[in-house]
Each structure stands twice: as C-alpha cells, then as structure tokens.
Amino acid sequence: MIFDILTLFPGMFAGPFDESIIKRGKDKQLIDIALHNIRDWATDRHQTADDAPYGGGAGMVMKAEPLAACIEAVKASRPTSTVVLTSPQGRRFTHQVASELAGRNGLIIICGRYEGIDERIRQLYVEDDISLGDYVLSGGEIAAMAIVDAVTRLLPGVLGSCESAETDSFCDGLLEYPQYTRPPEFRDIRVPDVLLSGNHELIRKWRRRESLRKTRSLRPDLLKEISLSREDCALLAGIEQEEKTCGC
C-alpha cells in the first residue's frame, strides 16, 4: 500500500516512520510512504499556505490553491487512492475504520493545521474525514502517523505472526486479556497457574473470561456493540457472581 501524506511539516515524520512496524513494512516493500510539502505548491516567494479567515476570527486557515494543486499532483499518479482529511470533525478512528482503510488501494492523507482547511477543499477532494477522538491536536500530523501505523499492522505480511493482529484489543470488539512473560513470579505476584498448565482449552477460556472482565470494567460500552455467544454470557454471569461474592 502507498501512503501519500500532505503536510506543512514533513520533518515531523522522520523518527516515527523509521522505526518498528512501519520500518518493517517498508523494508519488506509492503508499504511505501511519500511525504509532500504543501508549501512546494504555493506560488508566491514566501510559499504562503495560510491566510486569515473570511468573516474575521482568531487563527489562520489553510489556503485552497496550494493544497488543491498538491492534491491534484499526487492524485494524478495515484488515481485509485482515497483522499483522507485528518480533522476533529471527522468520524472517529477505530479498529473497524482501520480495517476498512487497509482494504483501499492507497491513502492520500491531508494533515489539517491552524483553524482548518478552506471548506472548498473538503467539498472538491476529500473522500473520508477521520478524527482520532474528541480533542484537538496542534495539527493532523500525529493523526496521520496513527492512521498509517494502525493500517500498516493490518496488512498481510507486515507483522511477524498473523495471530498478533487478530488478538489485539478491539479486533473482536473486546479489550485484550492480560499478558505475562518470564519470570513466573515477580515481586510476590505470580503468573496465573492456568497459563502455566499447558491446557490450551483452559487457557483459551481464561483469556476470553479476562477479556470480558477487562472490557466490562474499563469499557462497558463496547459490550453493547458486539454479539455475545452463549459461552460469553455464561462467563459474564460468572464474573458478576465473583464480584458479588467478594463485594467488589
């Protein structure tokens, strides 16, 4: 997959895109990332990419002309890529959205800045509007990094094990179960015996129960959005009984 990122600050991506999973994806030639400085499409000698908003008000707005020229130049070489805008007004970025974007031919990600972009850019070019959450960042660069990272790890062959992505939090609508590694005891806290038992069915059931327990405790809203199996309902009933017994 090809990620084209349109930004006023391309230097922000140097570190994050040269490490870990994203670097692995690039090394395997499973992804390609191209950074495009929007100022390069400005026509004045100062490479002006923003201006005061019509109607007055605080802050500046990203100008339509250089951004449109940048989008058109990139889109000309990537006609099947989807143009995405990072914006607080967009739909919330979730695992499901990341999975959807991973199925696209490519992504052209516009990093919003200042008070936003000229609305005509949204009307003319933007095909998807993405927000990381209900808060405001200084710009869309961090959101673009998050989108690239989340989408990249879902692409076949990027992770060392296909099971790694499948067992991540949110993949099945639940938070991930607790994880442990050596040593078996650390500061008087032991790894649950079931994980040392070698009984794969007991381990599977324990992990499912703890996933349900964590989701019920930290994100109960997620339980309303998924279809629970008969086993899930029985496990949840057991969790509730445990809590009543211990007075939690």
Q: What pLDDT score was predicted for residue 171? A: 67
Does residue 90 lie in a domain region? yes
CA torsion 145-151-156-162 (nearest 10°) is: 90
**Mind spelling out the 3-state secondary structure of the chain?**
CEEEEEECCHHHHCCHHHCHHHHHHHHCCCCEEEEEEHHHHCCCCCCCCEECCCCCCCCCEECHHHHHHHHHHHHHHCCCCEEEEEEEEEEECCHHHHHHHHCCCEEEEEECECCCECHHHHHHCCCEEEECCCCCCCECHHHHHHHHHHHHCCCCCCCCCHHHHHCCCCCCCCCCCCCCCCCCEECCEECCHHHHCCCHHHHHHHHHHHHHHHHHHHCHHHHCCCCCCHHHHHHHHHHHHHHHHHCC
Q: What is the CATH number of the domain that holds 44?
A: 3.40.1280.10
* Residue 198 and residue 145 share a domain: no
Q: pLDDT in tens for each of the 248 residues of the chain?
A: 999 999 999 999 999 999 999 999 999 999 999 999 999 999 999 999 999 999 999 899 999 999 999 999 999 999 999 999 999 999 999 999 999 999 999 999 999 998 899 999 999 999 999 999 999 899 999 999 999 999 999 999 998 755 455 555 566 889 999 999 999 999 999 999 999 999 999 999 999 999 999 999 999 999 998 999 999 999 999 999 998 888 76
pTM of the model: 0.87
Instruction: Give the domain extent around 42.
Output: 2-152
Kindly name the residue from 168, 172, 176, 232 that is annotated as catalytic: 168
How many structural domains does the chain have?
2
In a domain, 7, yes or no: yes
187 is catalytic: no
Q: Express each pLDDT in 81-139 by its tens digit.
A: 999 999 999 999 999 999 999 999 999 999 999 889 999 999 999 999 999 999 989 99
Which member of 88, 100, 104, 232 is catalytic? Answer: 88
Residues 114 and 228 in one domain: no
Q: What's the confidence (pLDDT) of residue 248? A: 65
CATH code (residue 237)? 1.10.1270.20
Q: What are phi and psi of 239, to 5 degrees?
A: -65, -45
Clarify whether 32 is annotated catalytic.
no
Whether 79 is catalytic is no
Report whether 159 contacts 117 (CB < 8 A).
Answer: no
Catalytic residue among 115, 128, 129, 149: 115
Residues 142 and 100 in one domain: yes
Q: Which residues of 114-152 are buried (b: 16+ CB within 10 A; e: fewer)?
A: bebbbeebbeebbebbbbbeeeebebbbebbbbbbbbbb
pLDDT at res. 173: 86
- 4, 113, 153, 210: the catalytic one is 153
Catalytic, 115? Answer: yes
The answer on 70 and 115 residing in a single domain is: yes
| Confidence at residue 180, expressed as pLDDT on a 0 to 100 scale | 94
Assess whether 8 and 91 both reside in one domain: yes
